Structure 1
């Protein structure tokens, strides 16, 4: 075994040299705003005789550059990032081959207990000291340049992403505190890497393994919903994954209400923000499905946003919105609400507007599905709302599709005690 490890260190030196040579030839001019040199950091990690830990940290940074738009990493050329990925893969294979059959394991998983605490401390160093009366970001950055935390956050995210189920579940006590430290940082760049890490954790860890950190994690989600536009899609995806996983069997959990209300508050403040509404519409479906009939309590906030978004000028919003409306109708039958008539009105207007849209066929098919679902579950209430459009010459095709006898003429009481009212949407030819 010792000979094998000796061979690994010899192999490591061979892997390091071409990367270090390529790095030295890469032009680099540090931005004045960063206050640190990424190239110097990499060169110090790739010394003449690097350890497996330092080499891995360097590869994590180089590899992360391929998906980063931050000035600390964008100067790294693609070929150097690819070379680092290849070298680390080579080292991992050599490491695994050197271990006895019953001890084989992921190299990253073996390094995590040593690396994660170091990265967590680097991230924490430039965090805001909440006991400090000034409590300002620039004071924290003056103490320790935030660039170090940004690099550490990218390294942490890279290491977490290299470990999957079941290995990742065995180290939640290690990775979740570090991910929470990222979310608690004032820098959006650090927060974003923490969110991406949590997304990977939530999809590669068993739900029961997250329970110990349930409340503190969901509280962090709530606190970060106010994040900047550039990372709002990450906080949406992260929050939905975590709350539906941690509160999987409890649709009445207060965490669903807190997180959904926090999201809606920010959407109400910026209803015209295209990126925010698209991110929310794209990721919110699992929350709707999890709380089912309890969606009724949120109608007074959800439907005004829906009605406003039905007439925006981008097809992506419209298509996502119509899918979410179908879900709401399927889960709740929109019972005991004043929104049925208004919903029919807005859908009819959108049906006409769709004539000028590229996605008009998909939009009109979704509208037909929703109207038929409403016809089935709302009966006379729907007929009253639809009657004023029945003879509109611009809606002949729509009227023909709605002329057949509905499956249910009146709202059923049979699902009153359940979480959902099951109605499958129809496809209109």
Structure 2
């Protein structure tokens, strides 16, 4: 790069100095548990002799501090992050100005072939050697402090996030191995950055560009579903996006079944974990839509969770459950399931409970819509189940809605 762009380095020296000056004035006290100095690492990357790639790595780390709560990066002030982002943008502009012709290039993308293999090796240094049964976390960190892997994971995620469709698809051969190395690491912080990277990949590449890595990626997703609370949302979002992308035309794929079973097993072990259930309920819809009628194979595990979550103490969970139940009913019409009467009973109880909730009207509206859907798809089975509730004085408005729907359906017929 230096031979083809001789003017870039002189421009780089102008950008580097104010960042280095600001960095030197920033207070920094390493955490007692930390075995590395992030400030020293940044100063080394910003030294006068350092090449363009090191400056880019420093900017990646400084910019990443915006979205991190990890102790290694929280000491970096926002103005320093902003300065790094502006400097890299200026360098990118200078890079494009120095290129012959009018073609615009992405500096971060052009640096990735040189940078990503280095970051991958940094992450792998403190990974657990699975071939060595005695190799545990402490032994892995003894080989190389895990802090270096955490910094490298943040840098990797930053570089990936700089490339979008359609350019990212051309770099899959570089990005996927490094992202998989993140997912294979024992640190939740490293895993999380790999997951965020895969989420960006799933949103910015063509499905066919992931096909050659499909089984390896989806296996890594399944292996990581039992992740820590702090990254559960990432693993669910990543897994849903990737399985629906890679298995887009194959609703009978065993990967859908395996992924759903892994998620449900994890939720069954911790059904009262609010953050986990909300994340899953928010993100699972694309899998439901992809497998359609095949949701019926999982109904016996899904509905007991739904019934439990309908009566928890937070309205967000309840509203999400009602939306997901609507999806299941729409896609399956609850064919050959034993849960029609139980579902109706639970909805009636929830309709009454809603009187004491802040989201009362929204909850009751969703229940009405659900009962009308059940009425239309289950017919006589619904009517028989509803008979025991129709004279309940607390359900007068609900009975009127169902009667109106019944009359409308009769008229349409």
TM-score (norm 1): 0.93
Q: Tell me the residue number matched to 1:372.
A: 372
SS of the residue 1:79 aligns to: helix
Q: Tell me the residue number matched to 1:280.
A: 280
Q: Tell me the residue number matched to 1:250.
A: 250
In the alignment, structure 1 residue 154 sits paired with structure 2 residue 154: yes
In the alignment, structure 1 residue 26 sits paired with structure 2 residue 31: no
Shift of 1:137: 1.1
In the alignment, structure 1 residue 349 sits paired with structure 2 residue 332: no
d(CA) in 1 for partners of 2:281, 2:3? 56
Q: Tell me the residue number matched to 1:420.
A: none
Shift of 1:3: 9.8
In the alignment, structure 1 residue 53 sits paired with structure 2 residue 65: no
Shift of 1:386: 1.0
For residues 64-96 of structure 1, the C-alpha deviation after alignment (integer angstroms, 9 at most, x for no partner) is 000100000000001000110011111111101
Q: Tell me the residue number matched to 2:41.
A: 41
Unaligned runs of 5+ in 1: 411-429
In the alignment, structure 1 residue 167 sits paired with structure 2 residue 167: yes
The number of equivalent residue pairs is 410
Bigger CA drift: 399-408 or 209-218? 399-408
Q: Tell me the residue number matched to 1:427.
A: none
Shift of 1:408: 10
In the alignment, structure 1 residue 360 sits paired with structure 2 residue 334: no
SS of the residue 1:6 aligns to: coil
d(CA) in 2 for partners of 1:3, 1:304? 65
d(CA) in 2 for partners of 1:49, 1:93? 22
d(CA) in 2 for partners of 1:64, 1:332? 44
Runs of 4+ with deviation above 6 angstroms? 1-4, 407-410
For residues 260-302 of structure 1, the C-alpha deviation after alignment (integer angstroms, 9 at most, x for no partner) is 0000000000000000000100100000000000000101000
Q: Tell me the residue number matched to 2:101.
A: 101
For residues 36-65 of structure 1, the C-alpha deviation after alignment (integer angstroms, 9 at most, x for no partner) is 000000000000243110000000000000
Bigger CA drift: 73-82 or 127-136? 127-136
For residues 4-35 of structure 1, the C-alpha deviation after alignment (integer angstroms, 9 at most, x for no partner) is 93332111111110000000000001112120
Q: Tell me the residue number matched to 1:326.
A: 326
SS of the residue 1:127 aligns to: coil
| Residues 13 and 50 in structure 1, CA contact (< 8 A), matched pair in contact too | no
Q: Tell me the residue number matched to 1:16.
A: 16
In the alignment, structure 1 residue 269 sits paired with structure 2 residue 273: no
SS of the residue 2:218 aligns to: helix
Q: Tell me the residue number matched to 1:91.
A: 91
Q: Tell me the residue number matched to 1:260.
A: 260
d(CA) in 2 for partners of 1:305, 1:326? 15
| Residues 180 and 220 in structure 2, CA contact (< 8 A), matched pair in contact too | yes
d(CA) in 1 for partners of 2:200, 2:283? 15
Name the Cα RMSD after superposition. Answer: 1.6
Shift of 1:407: 8.6
For residues 131-156 of structure 1, the C-alpha deviation after alignment (integer angstroms, 9 at most, x for no partner) is 11213111101111000000000000
| Residues 169 and 205 in structure 1, CA contact (< 8 A), matched pair in contact too | yes
Shift of 1:241: 0.2
For residues 155-175 of structure 1, the C-alpha deviation after alignment (integer angstroms, 9 at most, x for no partner) is 000000000011100010110
For residues 335-379 of structure 1, the C-alpha deviation after alignment (integer angstroms, 9 at most, x for no partner) is 111100000000011111111111111111111110000000000
d(CA) in 2 for partners of 1:35, 1:407? 73
| Residues 45 and 57 in structure 2, CA contact (< 8 A), matched pair in contact too | yes
d(CA) in 1 for partners of 2:30, 2:129? 28
| Residues 161 and 200 in structure 1, CA contact (< 8 A), matched pair in contact too | yes
SS of the residue 2:403 aligns to: coil
| Residues 236 and 279 in structure 2, CA contact (< 8 A), matched pair in contact too | yes
| Residues 126 and 143 in structure 2, CA contact (< 8 A), matched pair in contact too | yes
Q: Tell me the residue number matched to 1:390.
A: 390
For residues 290-316 of structure 1, the C-alpha deviation after alignment (integer angstroms, 9 at most, x for no partner) is 000000010100000000000000111
d(CA) in 1 for partners of 2:125, 2:261? 33
| Residues 166 and 205 in structure 1, CA contact (< 8 A), matched pair in contact too | yes
d(CA) in 2 for partners of 1:139, 1:367? 54
| Residues 372 and 405 in structure 2, CA contact (< 8 A), matched pair in contact too | no
| Residues 376 and 407 in structure 1, CA contact (< 8 A), matched pair in contact too | no
TM-score (norm 2): 0.97
d(CA) in 2 for partners of 1:59, 1:3? 23
SS of the residue 1:337 aligns to: coil
d(CA) in 1 for partners of 2:231, 2:148? 20
| Residues 126 and 144 in structure 2, CA contact (< 8 A), matched pair in contact too | yes
